[in-house]
Amino acid sequence: MLELGRWREAIAELGTVVADHPGDVEALCLLARCYSLAGDPASTVATAERVLAVAPRHEWALRQRAVALAALKHRRAAAESARAAIVAAPTEWRAHAALAEVQVQRLGAWSVLSARLAADAALRLAPEEADAHLVDARVRLRTGELTAARRACLRALELDPGNQVALHNLAVVELTRERPDRAARGFTEVLAGRPDDRLVGTAHRRVVHAMLWRLFDVFAAATLLHVALFTVLAGPWRRPVALATALALLAGLTLVGVRAWRAQPAPVRWRLRSDRLRPAVMLWPAMVAAAALTLLLSAYRPAPGGVAERMWWAALLVTLVGFGARLVELLGRRVLILLVRLSFRATLGLYRAGVALRRRRVPAAAARARG
Which CATH number do you get for residue 196? 1.25.40.10
| Packed helices 164-176 and 198-232: angle between N→C axes, nearest 10 degrees | 30
Query: Which amino acid, residue 334?
Result: R
> Higher confidence at residue 59 or residue 177?
59
Range scoring the smallest mean pLDDT among 125-139, 145-159, 268-282: 268-282
Separation of alpha carbons 30 and 50, rounded Å: 12
Provide DSSP, 211-263: HHHHHHHHHHHHHHHHHHHHHH--STTHHHHHHHHHHHHHHHHHHHHHHHHHH
Domain encompassing residue 289: 213-353
Q: Is 363 contained in some domain?
A: no
On whether both 253 and 156 belong to a single domain, the answer is: no
**Mean pLDDT, residues 226-239:** 83
Contact 144, 153 (CB under 8 A): no
pLDDT in tens, 7-18: 677 777 777 777
| Packed helices 130-142 and 109-125: angle between N→C axes, nearest 10 degrees | 160
On whether both 297 and 340 belong to a single domain, the answer is: yes
> Higher confidence at residue 171 or residue 191?
171
Q: Which residues of 247-261 are buried (b: 16+ CB within 10 A; e: fewer)?
A: eebbeebeeeeeebe
Q: What is the mean pLDDT of the chain?
A: 84
> Higher confidence at residue 237 or residue 203?
237
| Predicted confidence band of residue 261 (pLDDT cuts 50, 70, 90) | confident
pLDDT of residue 29: 86
| pLDDT cut 70: percent of the chain above it | 87
On whether both 30 and 160 belong to a single domain, the answer is: yes
pLDDT in tens, 193-218: 565 555 566 666 777 778 788 888 98
Q: Is 369 contained in some domain?
A: no
Q: Is 359 contained in some domain?
A: no
CA-based R_g, the chain, Å: 28
Closest to 33 measured CA to CA, from 51, 54, 57: 51
On whether both 258 and 152 belong to a single domain, the answer is: no
**Mean pLDDT, residues 270-278:** 71
On whether both 200 and 217 belong to a single domain, the answer is: no
The residues near 214 (Cβ < 8 Å, ≥ 6 apart) are 180, 181
| Predicted confidence band of residue 2 (pLDDT cuts 50, 70, 90) | very low
On whether both 117 and 142 belong to a single domain, the answer is: yes
**Mean pLDDT, residues 151-173:** 87
Range scoring the smallest mean pLDDT among 56-70, 162-176, 245-259, 305-319: 162-176
Q: Which helix (H) or strand (E) holds 106?
A: none
Separation of alpha carbons 191 and 36, rounded Å: 22
Separation of alpha carbons 216 and 281, rounded Å: 12
Contact 14, 27 (CB under 8 A): yes
| Predicted confidence band of residue 4 (pLDDT cuts 50, 70, 90) | very low
Q: Indicate the pTM of the whole model.
A: 0.79
On whether both 49 and 181 belong to a single domain, the answer is: yes
Provide DSSP, 36-72: HHTT-HHHHHHHHHHHHHH-TT-HHHHHHHHHHHHHT
Domain total for the chain? 2
Query: Which amino acid, residue 73?
Result: K
